[in-house]
Structures are given as structure tokens and as C-alpha cells.
Amino acid sequence: MTPVIAARNLAKWYGNVLGLSDVTLEIEPGVTGLLGPNGAGKSTFLKLLTGQIKPSIGEVTILGRPVRGDASLYSRIGFCPEQDAFYEEMTGREFVTSLLRLHRFSAGEARTRAERALGTVDLRGDGDRLIKAYSRGMRQRLKFAQAIAHDPEIIILDEPLNGLDPLGKRKLIRLVREFRGEGRTIIVSSHVLPEIEALTRTIVLIHQGKIFARGDIHEIRDLIDSHPHLVSIRCPEPRSLAARFLADGHVLKVDFGADGRSLLVETNDRDEFFGRLGRLIVSDAVKVEEITSPDDNLQAVFDYLVGK
Amino acid sequence: MSPYLDSLERVFSVFWKLSRKARRTKFFFLFSQLPVAVALIIRLNSLFSGRTPATGLYLFTNIIMFFYLQMIILVLALFYGTSVCSEEVEGKTLPYLTTRPLPKSAIVLGKYGAYTAIAAAMTSFGLILSFLILNFDSLSGRAVLALPRYLGVLVFGLVSYGALFTFFGSALKRSVFFGLLFSFGWENVIQYFPGSTQRLAIAHYLKSFLPSPPAGRFAFLTFRLEPTPPGLSLLVLGLVTTACLTLAGLVFSKKEYILED
């Protein structure tokens, strides 16, 4: 069976800078998460998939047809770009309607579909406001609306959850799951692991322009979970708190901040550590002002995985 | 309607509506009415000074058309023409257009059409108004018949300069800079060269449509113009426009625009 999206030996160079290298990938219906730190090559890959740039080597086919030079394919693709860019002097309603008109819908059909798409992202009430007056979250939802308004079979979303508030994120995650249930093919890129985790189990890890791993998110999660984590805790009595952790096997190292009010703990079992910390706060009334994880970002995880 | 023309019409319609609302349109509208203010000043001056001015048609040809041909249509065509492609790249809105089921050349031509139409509407309004101000008390059949010719010259100018600058915008990174060099460097110099050299300027063909002024105070404005016959001028302007738009469409279809973060 022909895959919905197929990339073969795909490489992209921007002058002397490598954007993507030797990517061979087949994508089937469902949600595929493209995960990688900033600058990993996710956007380059999505631009190649949508024919915005041409590969230096290799080819991309969508539904068995080469994407560049076949404009008719775009009626089956919805693309939500990463950039926060709009025709600012349009209203949200005009924006979606205008882009639908470019999909060859009649004026009436475009209006109906625009209303539906704006309703889907809860922007119907704000549809007549100028885009330049929209908040970041509204702008993100509007970008999503224009990507789905023409009912595409393939939806490509570049960092769609950026700038959304928790409610907005939850709503968008629910919508993506609904689209998956309808048998559509959705590609979502993100540099935030929990976001991808909430959307799909099928992920592609991309790093330094290469596909680093592909598979079920739980396998990747297991790898990531064995990565030693640093947790910074700000509290009035860091030494007393440190003493309680020292007996725990999952705590590898404890360090104190120069300000005398913080503690840096390295653990190889993040879940166990946070469980223990929670119990200390609740039952032993340990006072904690702030908890942060300095290396809880994808770059650190990737560095760890690549190094491993 | 063929699918290509349908695409063209849709892009035109979207950008016609968008450009009517744009803030820059308000600015350019005011800018394109500058000759109206000049016409008013001339008129008021003649009323209050009591001196008999040159005929309205003479003043119109040699002052108002000079403003339009040497400055206003150049500036409008430069900013609208170069922005057809470059505003999509600089504003990072390009993916919204290039991921629609449209031929890429139709995007360029449709936007070019919309922007040229809006510029033509603005300048025609100012031209008609200044024509009426200078001629309202001496509106003869000859004067009225001359008006379509002036409007035609203006539209031809916007169409051909606009096409050239659309090509600049699709191919060059600093298109406005090169456009300014062309407009106020090349065009302003070459058109005054004697012999056939002046035929290398678009302005030469535009001025060839205008009546030759009698020798007088304003004769220096068309100094050394050796007009090309109107039919040939039209052909040359048509060829320049077609060539530039074809190149712009080709470049836009083939070129890879990188949206910088």
C-alpha cells in the first residue's frame, strides 16, 4: 500500500549549513509526533513535506505524487506554519474566508466553512476583530483554523501548541485526537515532550538534521527516564531537606546553592523523587517555595541520548 | 473560466479587498493627490493675482503630468510592485499562499493586478480632479477628449513600471533600493539623452503619448524628447510588461524563499 507521505533519502542544505540529512520515512494515517530541540530540522522537514522548499537530494511524495509542482495536492493538505505571521489588517473571519476562497470554494461555501472552523477553535465571537488585536493564543488558534477549514486529509502542524494557554492546549489536543479518529493523517512538531506525549504514541525523534529514533513514545520515554535529572528546590531550610534525601537510593547527588536557600538534587528516578518530595511536603510539613528542573528540556535529553 | 484565470481572479479579489483596507493605501492616496494641491495653488494664485495664466490644458500637460510621470507613478509602482513578492517573504505570510491549490505564477499576477488596480484608481482620481480644477472654466471638446489620453498614459505607466518592479521584488533581496536607483537614476537621466539612447527609458514611451508642448516656459520638461509613434510605444510598453511579468512568475515559481527568524 502506498504510504500517505513518503520521504526518500531527503537532504537539505542551506548553503554550507545542513538542514536535514538522509531522511527516509513513511507516514501512515494517524498522528505522528515530530520531536526535537529547536534547530533540529523539524521545520525544514515540514517545509519539504509541504513543498515550500525543494530538497537538495531525495524526494517527497504525498499520496504517491511528488509534492513540488503539483498544486492540486494542496486541496488535500492543511498546513499550520510555525511563524506568528498574518495579514494583520484583516479580521479573523476575513482571513479564514479569504484563504478558503483560494481553495476554489464559492463565496457562500467559504463563509460557511470559515464559520465552522472559527467555531471549532472558539473564535467565532472574535471573528470580526482585526488580527492585530488578537492575543498570542487567539492567533495560534486562527492559524489552526485556516489549516483545517477546507477539511484536508493531511494536516501538518508546526509547533501548534506554542503560545496556547492550558485550556487552549487541551482543546487543540482533543481536536487532533478527533481528527485521528476520522482516519486523517496528522503530523505535529514540537520541542516539548509532554505535548507530543499528549497527542500521540508514534514519534519521530529528530536531532541535528537526522532522524535519530522512531517508534512508540513509551520506549523513548524509558530511555529518557533513565537520564539523570537535576531538580532545583528553593526552600528556607535546604540542609534539613537534603538530610532527608540522602538515605534515598534514587538520589545520586545533592548540592547547595550559593544563596543558602536552595538545593540541587540529581536523581535517576524522577517519578520516585517527586513522589517522595510530595510526601515530605504533605506529611512532614516541609516548606518549599519553588521547584524547577534546570535540565528538563529536550536538548539535555537529546544530548544524553546521543552521548549514550 | 479556465482554472488558471479562476486562480488569478481569486488572488486578485483577496488582495484588492486587503489593499483597500491597508494603512499604506491611505498614505499613498494622500500622496497621489499632491498634484491636486498644486493645481489648486495655481488656480488660486491666478484668481487672486489677477494675472492671466497659461491655458488650463497647457498647465495640466506640463506641470501635473510631470508630477505624475516623474514622481507619483514611479513611487506607487515601486512600492506596490516590489511588495507583491517581498511583503510575503518579509511578513512571513508566504506559506499561506504557497500551500493553496494555485499556480504560483497566478499568485504573482493576481497580486500584481490588484495592486496596479488600486494604484490606478488612486492616481486617476487625483488626475481627473486636478484636470477639472485647471480646466473647469474652459472645458472645451478638445480638452475633454484629451483626458482619456492622459489617464491612459498614467495607467500604462503604472502597468509597465509595476511589472518591472514586481520582477525586482521576486528576484532581488534589496528590490526597493534597486528600484529607487532605476527610477530616479536611470530613468531620470536616460530619458533626456538625445538620439536613440532615450528609448531605453520607459518614461520616453509614456511621454511619447503626450502632445508636444510649444516652446515656452515649461519646454525644458520635455527637453530633447524625440517621440516614438504611439503604436510602437504601446507595443514596447506591452512587451516590457509581458516580459517582466513572465520573469516574475518564473522566478517566484522556481525560487526558494527562506523566511528568516
Q: What is the pLDDT of residue B52?
A: 63
Closest CA to A65 of A12, A4, A152: A4
Please check whether residue A112 touches B, CB under 8 A.
no
Q: What is the pLDDT of residue B153?
A: 93
Is B133 contained in some domain?
A: yes
ipTM attached to this prediction: 0.87
Is B232 contained in some domain?
A: yes
Is the CB of residue B76 less than 8 Å from the CB of residue B119? yes
Q: What is the pLDDT of residue A61?
A: 94
Domain total of chain A? 2
A178 & A228 share domain: no
Residue A210 contacts by C-beta under 8 Å, 6 or more apart in sequence?
A20, A21, A22, A23, A41
CA dihedral A81, A84, A85, A89 (to 10 degrees): 130
What's the pTM? 0.85
Residue A253 contacts by C-beta under 8 Å, 6 or more apart in sequence?
A265, A266
**Averaged pLDDT of chain A:** 89
| pLDDT one-digit tens code per residue, B198-240 | 889 999 999 888 876 555 555 555 556 788 899 999 999 999 9
Q: What is the pLDDT of residue A258?
A: 85
Q: Quick one: which H or E segment has residue B126?
A: helix B104-135
Domain CATH for A229: 3.30.70.100
Domain total of chain B? 1
Mean pLDDT within A178-199: 90
**Averaged pLDDT of chain B:** 89
pLDDT at A240 over 70: yes
pLDDT at B60 over 90: no
Residues of chain A found within 8 Å of residue B99, distances taken between Cβ atoms:
50-52, 74, 77, 79
Chain B residues whose C-beta sits inside 8 Å of any chain A C-beta: 6-7, 10-11, 13-14, 17-18, 21-23, 91-104, 256, 258-259, 261
Q: What are phi and psi of B137, to 5 degrees?
A: -95, 0
Is B260 contained in some domain?
A: no
Domain CATH for A103: 3.40.50.300
Residues of chain A found within 8 Å of residue B21, distances taken between Cβ atoms:
89-90
A189 & A228 share domain: no
Q: What is the pLDDT of residue A7?
A: 94
Mean pLDDT within A180-205: 90
Mean pLDDT within A49-63: 93
Is B135 contained in some domain?
A: yes
pLDDT at A23 over 90: yes
Torsion-angle region of B256 (φ positive above 0: left; ψ -120 to 50: alpha; else: beta): beta
Q: B106 lies in which domain range? A: 3-254
Please answer yes or no on whether A72 and B101 come within 8 Å at the CB atom: yes
Is B97 contained in some domain?
A: yes
pLDDT tier at B54, thresholds 50, 70, 90? low
Q: What is the pLDDT of residue A226?
A: 67
Q: A252 lies in which domain range? A: 224-306
Q: Which of A192, A216, A240 is the last residue of a domain?
A: A216
How much of chain B exceeds pLDDT 70, in percent? Answer: 93
pLDDT at A272 over 60: yes
Q: How far apart are the C-alpha atoms of B53 and B138, rounded to whole Å? A: 12
A228 & A259 share domain: yes
Residues of chain A found within 8 Å of residue B118, distances taken between Cβ atoms:
none
Q: What are phi and psi of B245, to 5 degrees?
A: -70, -35
Give the one of B6, B92, B101 whose C-beta lies nearest to A74's C-beta: B101
Please check whether residue A74 touches B, CB under 8 A.
yes
Mean pLDDT within B93-97: 96
